[in-house]
Structure 1
Amino acid sequence: MLIACYATWFAAGVYLYPSTPIVALVVLGVAIALHSSLQHEVLHGHPTRFARVNEALVFLPLGLVYPYRSYKKLHLQHHADERLTDPYDDPESFYKATDDWRTHPVVLRKLLSWNNTLLGRVTLGPPLMVIGFTMAQWRAIAGGDRKVASAWLLHAAGLLPTVLIIEFAFGIPLWLYALTSAYLGISLISVRSFCEHQWSERADGRTIIVETSILAPLFLYNNLHFVHHKLPNAPWYRLPMLYRQRREEWRLMNEGYVFRSYLDIFKAFLFRSKEPVVHPGLRLGNTHLVTTVMKTSPGLPPLSEISSPEQHDDIDRRPADV
């Protein structure tokens, strides 16, 4: 899959762009989305047992924006299911705490509300995510976080050959690549992440299952997201089988947070907000925690099949800061 991704990206830039530039830019965007899915697979310990080998396989940042090591650290933090959707503890949460929401300008509130529709997420979402992520990263660097600084230095090292390939091998202006292909790549991944999580008092009810989709291979079957959260070590190609084997149990465990396909999500939320931006039950502000019940389903997979992010990140390698 890695070979296919890089081959598609390179062929679209070198061979397709000179003759059909619009098609090429779209294909490049699809390749970038697939590369993002592959980076997700790599940070979970695939395809080898060695973190540095895996990292080298996705070293070139085709999407330009996110340093791999920062993404890895934040995503493994996100896998603490008991904190899923928390505006502070879950770095991938789109919720805002009540106190923070009250301080936001009206214009920003409008933008964030529109971002909670699917159309808003795929159009406005990419710049909101990139700006928010970059500001948080640079605040960390300014505060003396050497690991974040190191992640950005490595990112810059990978960015240099990537930009040279785009500009000179492809002949695509960097600004055009960024505003079309890279933007499209983030938008495609945003389709997957749009409904991935919701607030529920029970932690198992917070993660979605989208049963079928033509987009599933592009997402490396992370449409079966609840299965992935319960079995983060399972490689992407096993997720459909694991779901089929215990379909009714999975659906019961996640309290029926199930969609038949992404088409159903499009129909339901293209123009309608899927939920309020303000977190409905967990946090009022950074120091105010609302007491709530944190339960998980009794029907969990065997413990031998489940690992915490910390355990998962230690498979014959150093933690995320290597």
Structure 2
Amino acid sequence: MTTPAARAPFWDRYELPTVLLGLVLYAAWLALTWWHAAIPGVLLFLAGGYVTQWHFSLQHESIHAMRHWPASLRTAFVWPPLGLWMPYPLYNRSHSTHHVNFYMTHPQRDTESYYQLQAAWPPAGRWQQRLVMLNQTLWFRLVFGPFVRLWKLARKETLRVRSGDHSHLPHWAVHAVGVAVILWWVMAVCGMPLWKYLLCFAWPGMSLGMLRTFTEHRWGERPMERVAIVESNTLMGVLFLYNNLHLVHHRQPTLPWYRIARRWRDNRAEMLATNRNFYYRGYLQIARLFMFRPVFDPRHPRW
């Protein structure tokens, strides 16, 4: 007796749209780095950031979908560290922890929470409190959020090693090799200065990721009340592989990216009832609301 997966069309069973997307993505990255000198700076900044964040989205897709691929092939397909900053295995583990719905938004147990424990508020020192509040505004998150994220990661990993836990060091060693290969191509083959790659690829790529996650979650009594829907245009939808329709993803994490928008359209009213209308019409609306105003009080309402 054949299973539903076996009866699915070949292109869907092996998620060939994702394969095609990955090939286009890597080709675009190679073209942008190869012809970087001929591309105006602003255009390179926009396109380089887009492609780098697109690759982060593909890594996210590989964690949840592509279930019919061998794990090693799935990892190899998305492993190249185009964004430079985080080993894929550590991102995989951290993001999987985030999907424990019961603890979603918990300041310590949710790896992607922007809340603070009530007992830890205010943070030690006025400047830390000010930094936490600034990081709740969109302009700060887009401009300085990547640096805050890198500082937190470096601090966490350093404390891990100092405590005697060396389990992440092999991942960082392999990651360093990958970064070296990327920078060899960028700098030695394409002749792009390191500062240019950081400015036009790595930083704007992280910044676009900060845009998607800016108001992705908030506290709610039920887990699905904590997950947002942000409708947007096709350009942004493809950039984030429709993870902006975040409630759909949390309800069905293994649903391929190219089926998320249809699932949202077919179940719109029911989903808005599920998350109590935690909904935005697009990123321009988010910018108007929270460019200079905190998106929420960082003190967690429960914990």
Please, what TM-score do these two structures have when normalized by structure 1? 0.83
Q: 48-57 or 71-80, which moves further after superposition?
A: 48-57
Structure 1: 4+ residue segments shifted above 6 A: none
Change (3 A) 1:179 1:21: closer
> 1:116–1:275: 8 Å Cα contact kept in structure 2?
yes
Find 2:138's aligned residue among 96, 111, 118: 118
Report the residue type matching 1:238 in the other structure: R
Q: Please report how far the alpha carbon of residue 149 of structure 1 lies from its aligned counterpart in structure 2 after TM superposition.
A: 1.7
User: Does the alignment pair 1:229 with 2:242?
Assistant: no
Partner of 1:108: 128
Instruction: State which of 218, 225, 229 in structure 2 corresponds to 1:205.
Output: 225
Q: Deviations over 1:27-77 (max 9, x none)?
A: 211110100000101111427521111111122101110110100000000
1:291 corresponds in structure 2 to none
Amino acid across the alignment from 1:270: M
Write out per-residue CA displacement over residues 128-156 of structure 1, whole angstroms, 9 at most, x where no aligned residue: 01110221123223334344222212211
Is the partner of 1:179 in helix, strand or coil? helix
Which amino acid in 1 is paired with 2:128?
A: L
Q: How many residues align?
A: 282
Q: Could you tell me which residue of structure 2 aligns to residue 257 of structure 1?
A: 278
Root-mean-square deviation over aligned CA pairs: 1.6
- 2:86 is aligned with 1:66: yes
Of the structure 1 ranges 253-262 and 224-233, higher mean CA displacement relative to structure 2 is found in 253-262
Matched, 1:239 2:235: no
The equivalent of 1:294 in structure 2 is: none
- 8 Å Cα contact 1:204-1:254 kept in structure 2: yes
Partner of 1:29: 49
Whose helix fraction is larger, Structure 1's or Structure 2's? 2
2-side partners of 1:222 and 1:107: how far apart? 34
Match of 1:135, as an amino acid? R
- Which residue of structure 2 lines up, in the alignment, with residue 309 of structure 1? none
Asked if the contact 1:38/1:58 (under 8 Å) is kept, the reply is yes
**3-state DSSP of counterpart to 2:115:** coil
**Does the CA-based 8 Å contact 1:45-1:51 persist in structure 2?**
no
Give the conservation status (yes or no) of the 8 Å contact 2:136–2:296: yes
**Counterpart amino acid of residue 40 in structure 1:** H
Q: Could you say if the C-alpha distance between residues 180 and 105 of structure 1 is closer, same or farther in structure 2, counting changes exceeding 3 Å?
A: farther
Q: Is the 8 A contact 2:44 2:200 kept in 1?
A: no
* Residue of structure 2 in register with 1:217 after alignment: 238
Deviates more, 1:21-30 or 1:67-76: 21-30
Q: Pick the aligned partner of 2:161 from 141, 154, 157.
A: 141
Do residues 51 (structure 1) and 71 (structure 2) align?
Answer: yes
Structure 2 unmatched ranges of 5 or more? 1-20
The residue that corresponds to 2:11 in the other structure is none
Contact 1:84/1:203 (CA < 8 Å) preserved in 2?
Answer: yes
Aligned identity (percent) is: 34
5+ long unaligned stretches in structure 1: 283-322
2-side partners of 1:210 and 1:162: how far apart?
33
SS in 2 for 1:217: helix
Structure 1 window deviating more from structure 2 (30-39 vs 104-113): it is 104-113
Q: Secondary structure at the match of 2:225?
A: helix
